[in-house]
Amino acid sequence: MAVVIVTGASRGIGLAATSFLLEAFNATVVAISRTRTPELDALTTAHPGSLQAVQCDMPPAFTAAIQSVLAKHGHLDGLILNAGAIEPLVPVASADTPLDAWRTHFEINVYSLITALKAAVPSLRDSPKGGRVVFVSSGAAILGIAGWGPYSASKAAMNSLNRLDYYWRLRHWHEEEKGKIVSIAVRPGKVDTNMQGEIRESGGLHMAHDVHQSFVREKREGLLLKPEQPGYVIAALSLHAPESLSGEFVNWDDERCREFRRPS
């Protein structure tokens, strides 16, 4: 049975991907998150033998959690790096936002990824199914939005890390690991999650008015995606992403991901 670690699994896209891995792909899942939610607890109760929920925050605890997974299950096949925060929503030069707020943001959105990779890659290399890493990215990685400096920078760093991983795999891992790890960054689109709520609630202070109002309007008109839409694709890619997509940044509904969409 495949074993997949999902970070940021307590709600939204992470919770949806966890649910699909359990119920559609018959995988064993270790859900790592900073918080526990009733939804994740209910999923844990429903799948006591195949879902382990681990609550932890910063890198040292994160490393220990992943090592405990490897000790318990003996192997790892997929890693979904979904944990993320959007705060602080501030201009880059804001005098009211201490530098420590940026550091905290990057601890969550960047350094946790590196921590997870360093802990998980040795086991992913040995996966009998071929190890896979899915970075849950954002359009903010390539689009400039006023007030989103920390988030845009951290998501761009995520994409670059994926590309860097791709470069190493071709030039170094191709010889030593024979291409056994496939990594892909996925843009999930605008999804109806808590993060969208934070944008609508506090983003208006620093975002351009028309841009902020577009987020408000899309929620009001029911235009946001459901977490289950990109969540299914992300779950499927964590087990079956092809070598041809490794190192790529793709939209969740990209034509190249068609075969990984949820059956209608």
Which sequence positions are flagged as catalytic?
Answer: 137, 151, 155
Question: What does the angle CA 235 – CA 241 – CA 246 come to, to the nearest 5 degrees?
Answer: 125
Residues 200 and 206: beta-carbon distance below 8 Å: no
Residues 158 and 85: beta-carbon distance below 8 Å: no
Residue 74, phi-psi category: left (phi > 0), alpha (psi -120 to 50), beta (remainder)? left
Cis, bond preceding 88 (omega within 30 deg of 0):
yes
Paired tokens of 260:
């990984």
Residue whose token pair is 């707020």:
101
Paired tokens of 227:
């977490």
Cα–Cα distance for residue pair 36/53, rounded to 1 Å: 8
SS3 (DSSP) at 75: coil
